[in-house]
Amino acid sequence: MTLSAEQQRMSGRIGALLGILLLALSLRAAVVSVPPLLAQITPAVGFTPLTTGFLAMLAPVCFAIFGIFTPRLINTWGLGKTLFVAIGLAVLGQLLRPFAPNAWVFLALSIVTLGGYGIGNVVLPPLVKKYFPDKIATITSGYVTLLAVGTWISPQFAVPLANAVNWEFSIAFWALLSAIVAIPWVLQLRADRAAGRADVKVQTAATTVPMQANINPWRSRVAWGLAIYLAGNSAQTYVYFTWLPPYLQDRGIDELTAGSMLAYFAILMLPVSLIIPMWVPKLKHPIVAIGFFSLFWIVGHTGLLISPQEYGWIWITFSGLAQGTFAIALLMVNLRSRTTYGSGVLSGFSQGIGYAGAAIAPMFFGIVHDATNSWPVTFLLLAAALVVMLIGAVIINPKRMIEDDAPTKARV
């Protein structure tokens, strides 16, 4: 039977499709598998309030630092090798963490793990750009959905795995998922070499801006706009992840219910991640969708401040669905770049700055609350983060690509 042209194109990309989806599924495992097990891990490695605080900040800090430097790795090694570095770091860190003799070594190995995931965060959008330039919305929808599933599945099974075997097995188990990611990518890269498809480096990508090394995100309006947008968005999300359970318990909600409400908040990213990539690319002005989901943030923040006990689940529903703003950010990486390398630069810079904001916000939230002993004053920080996000949204709303901000001499 003769394959259609579309079937032939897809058959040459099946490894990339599986690799992208599995990578997305694995990217949050190490981040969210440890907190549910802290009570079991602490007696063995000696976590203190100080080291626990560092652990809470570690993910966004690592995502920020490794995110900023990943485009340089792509430029030097190519997209394929950079991807395998990410997988290797994630697997190595997760396998070694159970053997950490103390909390500081555990944190160091967590940096190795999260560094791999930080690189993985950045390479995902350019991988979509490289292999599926004709299906960016569809593939983005798939991988953002699995990102949400991965955020839910790891903490859901962390305690059962620990109870069945031990905590060491539970946190090392997710290294298997990271290792499996390598299998379809090995097959895909072999197929690429056989077909004569070059890896993505500065010198090889086809573009209207061939001297892509001249793309400087620090001088790009597009890059700064998306970075500001992601910083405001991530600040709100990580404040929820860090402070929602303590806040709800302080307002009289029991520990189990508070934990369930956080899990509910996390999983609500799933339905919106299916809708966003299908809707936003059709809009002339993406800020329309951003404004829509910003209203959800406003209702959620306000409701949780005023009446968390009576209608808490309703307000969490609004805030959870508001995470559509994050799905829009991931989609905009490819909607505001023309080339695979441009996508990588924009992804690395925006996520680096964005996660830096996410790292600072929960700490600042706690400092302000301790200083004022007032939740209403503290919630003003969420309003400020929302304003920051909307400022970034205004900047990225015009259809301008990061390549357009390259020096004139680099253009043809």
- pLDDT at residue 324, as a whole number: 93
In a domain, 386, yes or no: yes
Does 69 reside within a domain? Answer: yes
DSSP notation for 299-349: HHHHHHHH-HHHHHHHHHHHHHHTTHHHHHHHHHHHHT-SSHHHHHHHHHH
Please state, in angstroms and as integers, the Cα–Cα distance from residue 65 to each residue in 97, 115, 205, 262, following that order: 21, 8, 25, 27
Q: Which of 49-63, 145-159, 277-291 has the highest mean pLDDT?
A: 277-291
CATH of the domain at 252: 1.20.1250.20
The answer to whether the Cα torsion of 88, 91, 97, 98 is positive or negative is negative
- Cα separations (Å) of 144 from 23, 103, 128, 268, 378? 11, 32, 12, 12, 30
Average pLDDT over residues 61-65: 88
Same domain, yes or no: 308 and 374:
yes
Report which listed range, 57-61, 192-196, 350-354, 366-370, is most confident. Answer: 350-354
For 330-352, what is the mean pLDDT?
89
Gyration radius of the chain's alpha carbons? 21
Report yes or no on 5 lying in a domain: no
Assess whether pLDDT exceeds 70 at residue 202.
no
- Tokens of residue 356, six digits: 């830096």
Between residues 78 and 300, the one the model is more confident about: 300
In a domain, 4, yes or no: no
List the one residue out of 137, 128, 47, 67 whose CA is nearest residue 328: 137
Residues 314 and 171 in one domain: no
Q: Is residue 244 domain-shared with residue 137, that is, in the same domain?
A: no
Task: Say what percent of the chain tops pLDDT 90.
Answer: 37
Same domain flag for 162 and 268 = no
Q: How many structural domains is the chain composed of? A: 2
Q: Is there a single domain that holds both residue 228 and residue 308?
A: yes
**Which one is predicted more confidently, 339 or 256?**
339
**Token code pair at residue 169:** 């097995």
For 335, residues 6+ apart whose C-beta sits below 8 A from its C-beta are 136, 280, 281, 286
Are residues 162 and 284 located together in one domain of the fold?
no
Rounded Cα distance, 384 and 389, in Å: 9
Contact between 26 and 151 (Cβ < 8 Å):
no
* Residues 93 and 110 sit within 8 Å (Cβ to Cβ): yes
The DSSP letter of residue 79 is H
This model's pTM is above 0.85? no
Predicted pLDDT at 1: 46
Distances (CA, A) of 154 to 44, 147, 260, 294, 344: 21, 11, 14, 28, 27
The whole domain housing 326 covers 203-412
Of 156, 181, 201, the one marking the end of a domain is: 201
Q: Are 118 and 111 in contact (CB under 8 A)?
A: no
Instruction: With CA atoms as reference, report the closest residue to 140 among 153, 127, 152.
Output: 127
Residue 381 scores a pLDDT above 60? yes
pLDDT digits 0-9 by tens, 289-327: 999 999 999 999 999 999 998 899 999 999 999 999 999
Cβ neighbour number for residue 112 with a 10 Å cutoff: 19
The average pLDDT across 268-294 equals 91
Q: How far is the C-alpha of 358 from the C-alpha of 350, rounded, in Å? A: 12
- Distance, in Å, from the CA atom of 218 to the CA atom of 345, rounded to the nearest integer, reads 10
Pick the more confident residue, 245 or 386: 386
Q: Work out the mean pLDDT of the chain and round it to a whole number.
A: 85
Closest CA to 33 of 113, 142, 105, 104: 113
pLDDT given at position 10: 55
**pLDDT tens-digit readout, 121-146:** 889 889 998 889 888 888 888 888 88
For residues 3-10, give the mean pLDDT. 49
**Do residue 57 and residue 145 come from a single domain?**
yes
- Phi, psi dihedrals of residue 292, rounded to the nearest 5°: -60, -50
pLDDT of residue 380: 93
Q: Are residues 231 and 157 in the same domain?
A: no
Which residue in this structure is represented by tokens 């301790």? 370
Domain assignment present for residue 2? The answer is no
Last residue of a domain, one of 201, 222, 243: 201
pLDDT tens readout for residues 168-186: 998 999 999 889 999 999 9
Tell me, what's the pLDDT at 160? 85
- The mean pLDDT of 26-38, rounded to a whole number, is 79
In sequence order, which residues have a C-beta less than 8 Å from that of residue 408 and are 6 or more positions away?
Answer: none
* 6 domain-assigned: no
Q: Kindly state whether residues 114 and 238 are assigned to the same domain.
A: no
Same domain, 262 and 322: yes
Q: Is residue 412 part of a domain?
A: yes
CA angle 327, 332, 337 (to 5 degrees): 150
pLDDT at position 206 is 33
Q: With pLDDT > 70 as the criterion, what percentage of the chain qualifies?
A: 91
Q: What is the mean pLDDT of residues 213-226?
A: 87
| pLDDT, mean of residues 36-43 | 82
Check residue 355 and give its pLDDT: 86
Domain boundary among 157, 184, 201: 201
The reported pLDDT for the residue numbered 208 is 37
Kindly state whether residues 133 and 53 are assigned to the same domain. Answer: yes
* Residue-wise burial string across 344-366, b where 16 or more C-beta atoms lie within 10 A, e elsewhere: bbbbbbbbbbbbbbbbbbbebbb
Structural domain contains residue 376: yes
For residues 80 and 213, membership in a common domain is answered with no
CA atoms within 13 A on the CB side of 190: 7
